[in-house]
Copies of this chain bind each other. A is one copy, B any other.
Amino acid sequence: MTTRSRNESGESTRSRLIAVAAELFRAKGFAATTTREIASVAGIQKATLYHHIRRKEDLLYELCVDALDHISAAADGVLSREGSAVERLRALIEVHVATILGERDQHAAMLTELRSLPPDARAEIVTRRKGYERRIDELISAAQEAGELRGDFEAKDLRLALLNMLNWAIFWFRPDGEHSPEELGKLYAEVFLAGTSRALPERPSSQQAAL
């Protein structure tokens, strides 16, 4: 275990390397990103990179752990709030979007480059992600049982529909684009909650979904 020195900005070399790797992995993909390039952008020689990590995959693994820790902590803050299940769900949606778009590089790499991890590391990340997804399922179920969300779809299927809508935004979102992460979070919360509210608009044929 090496003592991690820190530069003037208080950032360890290791975490700087992870940030650089995340940026490149999001932009070009894990396989198309070379260790030379990571070292170059970080301003060190390639051999120096291997003083900080053992393999290129280490960067992807640690980046995934960081990203999941971060979004889990953000979710904790929301889930422990007062209020109805659907109010917490709305807040969770907004926090999820703000987090993945605010830390776009790390979350994009985590969500899309997982297949490039060695099996053991991948399995661990998948398990962590399932823990996060399970808590969303529980919140959706609670909202259904409280009569706040429609009960004619399974919580798991609604969670998948929701995360679909939130996560794909990492592909096209640009920090200098028309809408902020917060605005997009509000929009998606609005569309999803209106679409799954128990108080349905008058469209009788769709009250009972045939899934």
Interface residue ranges, A against B (CB under 8 Å)? 27-32, 112, 115-116, 153, 157-158, 160-161, 163-169, 171-172, 179, 183, 186-188, 190-203, 206, 209-211
Residues of B within 8 A of A165 (CB): 161, 164-165, 168
Q: From B27, B32, B202, B209, give the contact of A199 (CB < 8 A).
A: B202
Q: From B166, B167, B209, give the contact of A190 (CB < 8 A).
A: B209
Q: How many chain copies?
A: 2
Residues of B within 8 A of A115 (CB): 27-29
Name the distance in Å between A136's Cβ and chain B's nearest Cβ.
14
Contact present for A187 and B168 (CB under 8 Å): no
**Interchain residue pairs with CB less than 8 A apart (25):** A28-B115, A30-B32, A31-B32, A153-B187, A158-B191, A161-B188, A164-B166, A164-B188, A179-B211, A186-B209, A186-B210, A187-B209, A190-B195, A190-B206, A191-B192, A191-B195, A191-B196, A192-B195, A194-B196, A194-B201, A197-B203, A198-B201, A199-B202, A199-B203, A201-B201
